[in-house]
Amino acid sequence: MTRSEPCEVVIASYIEPDLAERIAAAEPRAHVVYEPSLLPPPRYPADHHGDPRTLDDGELQRWEAVVERAEVMFDFDWRSPETIPERCPHLRLIQATSAGVGSVMTRTGLDRSEIEVCTAAGTHAVPLAEFALLGALYFVKGMPTLTAWKARHHWELYATHQLAGRRALVVGLGGIGRRVAESFAALGVEVWGLARRTPPELPAGVTRMITQEEMPGVLPDVDVLVVASPLTEKTHHMVGAAELAALPAHAIVVNIGRGPVIDEPALIGALTEGRLAGACLDVFETEPLPEDSPLWQLDNVIISPHSASTLAEENEVLVDLFLDNLARYLDGRPRRNVYDRAAGY
């Protein structure tokens, strides 16, 4: 495909300079604009939000001129994503840096625009699957007890348990959920899956598919419940008080999807009353997690500040995805991970 003019590509969140140079070198049909001095500086590797930056009048004019010409963006405009359709009249494609963009799309109204948005689905699958395994093993191997004994310099022989032979239900079988299923199955766990659409063939590692309607009936037979689904109207509080009550007392709950998929007050109640063995949580109903949340005080809870998916090397993987989708866009081919407005993810 030959273009008379280069495609204007704007990198709208911080990446390492060598990665910006890689984008420019890899696609001769693109004119890549990267102005890191106009972007929020990252607080840690692969931070795509950063601390807010105050621009003076000249810098603000420069940034507005940059986004006004953009046809393709790497990430959402950090200043005012809700006004992107008005301020970016030439914009046709946004490559997001997050797998879950549903809340951003609905909050900003971009779900009603004509701009195509591609998510980063799949790029966080490995670290999140590892985190889910960490959570399950932490409680199965009795780490809360060992931690307490260590603090007391207490030595006592005891019997442990094993994860192999147990059963996990993975709710949500996108790229992340499928990797979770494979990882658990590799350690000898029987994995059941729940997805919005039942796939024609069982995903790797999954031995049985169930529907959402069947979930309450199978939960008494589940040892580890892993939530890896996006947040939509249908998944909001999908795991509520009734579902948590149906789990056996030795069950472990892992949430690597979105906080509101689980009814958090109901989860706190079950954990406080000892009706669950523990919870491993990377996401919460309110973020940051409020200082007065009872979750902070519970010994049977692992709290991760929505960072289990973030790797220091993440930007390299995101740039790989972006370059593929940019080439597809310029060639007129379908993109990967296109946000489904009807489904909400």
Q: Which of 21, 287, 313, 333 is catalytic?
A: 287
Question: What is residue 93's three-state secondary structure?
Answer: strand
In the annotation, is 316 catalytic? no
Q: Cis bond leading into 288, ω under 30°?
A: yes
- The torsion angles phi and psi of 279, rounded to 5 degrees, stand at -140, 140
Rounded Cα distance between 249 and 270, Å, is: 9
In the annotation, is 306 catalytic? yes
Q: Which of 79, 166, 179, 258 is catalytic?
A: 258
In the annotation, is 328 catalytic? no
Identify which of 133, 261, 135, 250 has the alpha carbon closest to the alpha carbon of residue 194.
Answer: 261
Q: Write the CA distances from 199 to 43, 99, 113, 257, integer angstroms.
A: 40, 20, 30, 20
Question: What is residue 262's three-state secondary structure?
Answer: strand
Q: How many CB atoms lie within 10 A of CB 91?
A: 23
Identify which of 143, 208, 203 has the alpha carbon closest to the alpha carbon of residue 173.
Answer: 203
- Pairing between β-strand 301-303 and β-strand 116-118 as defined by DSSP bridges: unpaired
Q: Which of 62, 69, 237, 306 is catalytic?
A: 306
Q: Write the CA distances from 55 to 25, 186, 231, integer angstroms.
A: 29, 51, 34
Q: Which residues have a catalytic role annotated?
A: 258, 287, 306
